[in-house]
Structure 1
């Protein structure tokens, strides 16, 4: 095991949230004329953002100005506009007359930004666990033990820890009892669908889920496999359009985080439920129209290659003779249909309730079981040595910070807030050290 020196900041995960943090730390280091000693551990071999859902023709559902930096610092060289300028596409993009770049282009922007910070990232490392380092019962550092693809282990310590590991794919019943390549979550769609349908001239596929991902996959399957029969299975009567109108969108503003955090928990839960369909189980209106047109064209041609199975839920599953057998409950009419598929794609989203399992070793030292307004784990005042230790969690606080917490919308501002906390603690420690030596 390699024992690395102690860092100022140790980040777990290097998706957009910790990438935005790395940029904010870089800016902070330049301001104070002393770079932070930082390292980020990422299990992927290189930077990648939802690569299995980078479908042709799909656009971002947020404006490009809600990138890694602009809402915090519009002059930053890490902005999407500067990316376009460096790539020689700025005027061409402007001629598109859109605020929403393609998902493929936005992923390229994120990779462009990540490459500028390659020296601070260790790719291909999986973190086995994190733990507090104690001295006389007090936390004096936080450490992470990771291993690379060869199994070699590495221990790193830091004064500040930031965990941004992303959500867990939701695998609902009855699929949670099945481990088969023909049943795959949307997080593995592009890398898994060809293997799942290998050798099938006219494959039958069920897509489970009535949100944006489910609709996108249903359309993509028809284009990727022209002879495929695709059933989009949804619990509701119709696909619900996402509410992206101006007043509803205000819930995603950075200022709304303060509003949500200050509400009483029951009132906050009411607001989250009221506005849930701005983000969950909803579909872009243009995509709904496109899918409806596809189904209508099938009707005109007299074929049944694609179906919308409304008010329908999977009731049972079996994998037999290389096929997936589903029993589908038609809640509208009260009956059941037994259907045979070559693959099932679960567009069932992600879960980020509570805190990531990784921070479990820190719970005995916490005053509460959720993060504070600035995303810090509330370590007890008696636990952290001289209050110089911080542990932050990004993207797991929707229940307290609002619907924007799991999205890209506030990552630039949130990164600035976390860096502000680190700077404040560092300044306080320096002042205390000076006072002690005076």
Structure 2
């Protein structure tokens, strides 16, 4: 099949959140003349909009922005963003004496950086299908079919390389039906604004989960709804702090993914199991005392508005006309209870589904390390069979092979640069 070279992209990206934004920055700063386009289903840049609570802080330093760890002189840094906002913004941030900006401010920084790539991004676009395009020696290119969400028009683009960074899929516990009153925490802000607009009402909120998101949702509800009852249900005994102590934090040094990828799968899994609090389920150390104080003051005042149910597992929930109904199993007593509330908020995390649904049509060409996980090379590309020339890169899916930084923000600039370097080395100017 003859294809005009001018119709072929060197890179098509799916999703334009922080991870692919970091790649766009790395591409620009690399000087490699690669023709790229990114598709995102959202109408514009938005990073966890449902969790944009006033006062909620980042869990990573502002120095772990889109670029600083790799190129501290870059114009895309958080500090440069502050300097461009107003004459005194940078000085006043420095005077805060903190490494941790709010999530709202960091989201504004991301949006500022994303605006500088508007010519590369097609917002409001769904990716419908990815298929292989045969050449003389096998599959030569990929055809990506997309649909404009505004007018429904579909079209296809050809590419030599594909980069997926769609973000995690909200995890919903088994036998739980999402609805108006049962929703994942990622939708909290919108749901509260739509259905719980009376801030003085005595609503009853049930939170499921014990990690940072659960803590952020709790604090937001406590500040916004002073007369509400809040019940938090956790599977263990207590909220535990994230482990960001100095030696453990070396899990996020730039050289760690290289070392981690060389280890055998059993040893890698042991590290993930042993140090899970460095990346998962841990709550910011400074936030736990604030939450405990809220519980203590509620107790001492006799209000009885706050409850913490330990060793409690959600086994089902659904929305009724005017209430949420949840069933919990109590691990310590082996008893089951049914609870009615105004809303059940699922702070139950995210999953990175593999095989990726968008790649379903290419399954025969991609190697799996296990039935649930792709074989992912050091450069974040999926290993493929002989005769499959395109390369498919993943961001966010390789924790099992590259370490904890894969699902966090810490090493985004380094990963982006490695992907761009691999693209440059394997996409020759002559081929275009």
Q: Which band: TM-score by shorter chain? A: over 0.9
**Alpha-carbon separation, structure 2, partners of 1:81 and 1:296:** 39
**Number of the residue aligned with 1:83:** 81
**Alpha-carbon separation, structure 2, partners of 1:353 and 1:414:** 20
Q: Are the aligned partners of 1:133 and 1:143 in contact in 2 as well (CA < 8 Å)? A: yes
Q: How many residues align?
A: 419
Farther-moved stretch of structure 1 (133-142 vs 10-19): 133-142
**Alpha-carbon separation, structure 1, partners of 2:285 and 2:333:** 27
**Alpha-carbon separation, structure 1, partners of 2:76 and 2:318:** 49
Q: Does 1:40 align with 2:5?
A: no
Matches within 5 A, 1:294-313: 294-313=294-313
Q: Are the aligned partners of 2:169 and 2:353 in contact in 1 as well (CA < 8 Å)? A: no
Superposed displacement of residue 140, structure 1: 1.9
**Number of the residue aligned with 2:401:** 400
Of 58, 65, 68, 2:66 maps to 68
Matches within 5 A, 1:123-272: 123-136=123-136, 138-149=138-149, 150-175=151-176, 178-197=177-196, 201-272=201-272
**Number of the residue aligned with 1:379:** 384
More helix by share: 1
Of 5, 8, 12, 1:6 maps to 8
**Alpha-carbon separation, structure 2, partners of 1:367 and 1:410:** 26
Superposed displacement of residue 355, structure 1: 4.2
Matches within 5 A, 1:349-428: 349-368=349-368, 369-384=374-389, 389-427=390-428
Farther-moved stretch of structure 1 (125-134 vs 313-322): 313-322
**Alpha-carbon separation, structure 2, partners of 1:274 and 1:72:** 28
Give the aligned CA root-mean-square deviation in angstroms: 2.0
In structure 2, list runs of 5 or more residues that go unmatched.
369-373
Q: Are the aligned partners of 1:184 and 1:346 in contact in 2 as well (CA < 8 Å)? A: yes
Q: Are the aligned partners of 1:355 and 1:370 in contact in 2 as well (CA < 8 Å)? A: no
For the residue of structure 2 that corresponds to 1:246, the secondary structure is coil
Farther-moved stretch of structure 1 (367-376 vs 141-150): 367-376
For the residue of structure 2 that corresponds to 1:419, the secondary structure is helix
Q: Are the aligned partners of 1:20 and 1:412 in contact in 2 as well (CA < 8 Å)? A: yes
**Alpha-carbon separation, structure 1, partners of 2:318 and 2:85:** 50
Q: Decide whether aligned partners of structure 1 residues 140 and 184 sit closer, same or farther in structure 2, where only a CA change above 3 A counts.
A: same
**Alpha-carbon separation, structure 2, partners of 1:227 and 1:362:** 53
Matches within 5 A, 1:313-324: 313-324=313-324
Superposed displacement of residue 194, structure 1: 3.1
**Alpha-carbon separation, structure 1, partners of 2:411 and 2:178:** 36
Q: Are the aligned partners of 2:13 and 2:165 in contact in 1 as well (CA < 8 Å)? A: yes
**Number of the residue aligned with 2:371:** none
**Alpha-carbon separation, structure 1, partners of 2:338 and 2:362:** 48
Cα deviation code 1:231-267 (max 9, x no counterpart): 0110011111111101111112221101211111101
Q: Are the aligned partners of 1:354 and 1:397 in contact in 2 as well (CA < 8 Å)? A: no
**Alpha-carbon separation, structure 2, partners of 1:185 and 1:148:** 26
Cα deviation code 1:280-310 (max 9, x no counterpart): 1221122111111001111111011111111
Farther-moved stretch of structure 1 (287-296 vs 84-93): 84-93
For the residue of structure 1 that corresponds to 2:304, the secondary structure is coil
**Alpha-carbon separation, structure 1, partners of 2:376 and 2:204:** 45
Superposed displacement of residue 367, structure 1: 4.3
Cα deviation code 1:319-365 (max 9, x no counterpart): 44421222322323343333210110000000015342212322322
Q: Are the aligned partners of 1:375 and 1:418 in contact in 2 as well (CA < 8 Å)? A: yes
**Alpha-carbon separation, structure 2, partners of 1:240 and 1:81:** 32
Q: Decide whether aligned partners of structure 1 residues 229 and 420 sit closer, same or farther in structure 2, where only a CA change above 3 A counts.
A: same
Matches within 5 A, 1:83-122: 83-88=81-86, 89-122=89-122
Q: Taking structure 2 as the reference length, what is the TM-score of the superposition?
A: 0.92
Farther-moved stretch of structure 1 (240-249 vs 312-321): 312-321
Q: Does 1:22 align with 2:24?
A: yes
**Alpha-carbon separation, structure 2, partners of 1:183 and 1:225:** 18
For the residue of structure 2 that corresponds to 1:249, the secondary structure is helix
Q: Are the aligned partners of 1:206 and 1:230 in contact in 2 as well (CA < 8 Å)? A: yes
Farther-moved stretch of structure 1 (140-149 vs 10-19): 140-149
Superposed displacement of residue 371, structure 1: 1.5
**Number of the residue aligned with 1:285:** 285
Superposed displacement of residue 49, structure 1: 0.6
Q: Are the aligned partners of 2:242 and 2:279 in contact in 1 as well (CA < 8 Å)? A: yes
